[in-house]
Amino acid sequence: MRRATVLIAVLLMILSIKISYAATCEELNAGMKDLCAQGKYSEAIMIGEEALKIAEEKYGKESIETAVTLDNIAFLKNAQGKFDEAKDTYRRSLSIYKKVYGPEHEKVAESLNNLGKLFFQQGEFEDAAAYYEQALGIYHTTLPPGSPRIAEILSELGDLYYTQGNFEQTEKYYSEALGIFQKFYGKYSPEVALILDRLYEIYFVKKKYAEAEKMFREAIQISEQSYTDEHPYVYKPVARLAELCDIQGKYNEAIDYYKKAIDIHTKMIGSDSPRVANLKIKLAKVYEKIGRKDKAGDLLEEADKVLKNTKPGVRG
């Protein structure tokens, strides 16, 4: 609290004495991050608007300095829930970038991507896709083919189409992103684990079980090399592989993976978690399928004790 108050005072002093824009911008960015993290958006925007006046007066209304400040303000407007104002502010900075750099520039693509994210957030999927695609087209012409920035846009497009239920397009974009991430970061990286987590969900939904199983096993191998056992990236593929083995009738493997998932999650948040209880219920059902009703009964009893003590609305 005290740090934020002091920071505001310092920044306002800097702005009032009109020192160089570069110093102001540096302080502004640090201040905005700090204040934004505390939810102090109004104070941050106040500083940003003062910086905008300086940028416009010193460098012009269509200068890069003005555009950068507008981006900062737009980000904060979005965080405040003032989405229409954020859109207008981002559009103004986009217009400046196009005039200064031309339409085919990385900064233009970045600005288009900002608008894509904002429209996606608002559920305006058609407009979001258009902005994303424009940004992707520019990155394809300005960046090397294996740039992770291209993969990030592809992943965002995959997220968008997944939200719409368009799994064909989702699979297409996630697969392209995966190929780039694997080449750039290597097979055993958090970035690859994350995109695999998204991609094998699509295979699961589309009942492409052979492809899904391959993805699950690869994701487990990657996550185990990248994270500790207690990390969600390890737990999630193990739990999903257990379900997949169950669906395909591979009951012994399903039992092993459910046990592993239960062990990991117990270490993460304790044995009284509803999620652990639900995993035990799923494991019990597998035991029932192979005639081990004694095992199933014990697990169901353990799960029932946890769920009875769980507050309504809390799900595993």
The radius of gyration computed from the CA coordinates of the chain, to the nearest angstrom, equals 25
**What SS3 state is found at 293?**
helix
- Domains along the chain? 1-95 (1.25.40.10), 102-225 (1.25.40.10), 227-316 (1.25.40.10)
* Whether 213 contacts 246, CB under 8 Å: no
The amino acid at residue 155 is S
What are the C-alpha distances in Å from 17 to residues 57, 78, 242?
Answer: 14, 29, 64
pLDDT tens for each residue of 50-61: 888 888 888 899
H or E element, residue 84: helix 83-101
| Amino acid occupying residue 68 | V
For 288-316, how does the pLDDT look when each residue is reduced to its tens digit (9 = 90+)? 999 999 999 999 999 999 888 765 544 44
pLDDT value at position 15? Answer: 43
pLDDT: which is higher, 105 or 15: 105
Determine the pLDDT at residue 315.
47
What gap in Å lies between CA 314 and CA 243, rounded to an integer? 22
Residue 230, token pair as written in the block: 């207690």
Q: What is the pLDDT of residues 152-190, one digit of tens each?
A: 999 999 999 999 999 999 999 999 999 999 899 887 677
Give the pTM: 0.76
Mean pLDDT over 11-27 rounds to 49
Distance between CA atoms of residues 232 and 121, nearest Å: 25
* Structure tokens, 76: 């904060």
Structure tokens at 183: 């080449």
Residue carrying the six token digits 């970035």: 191
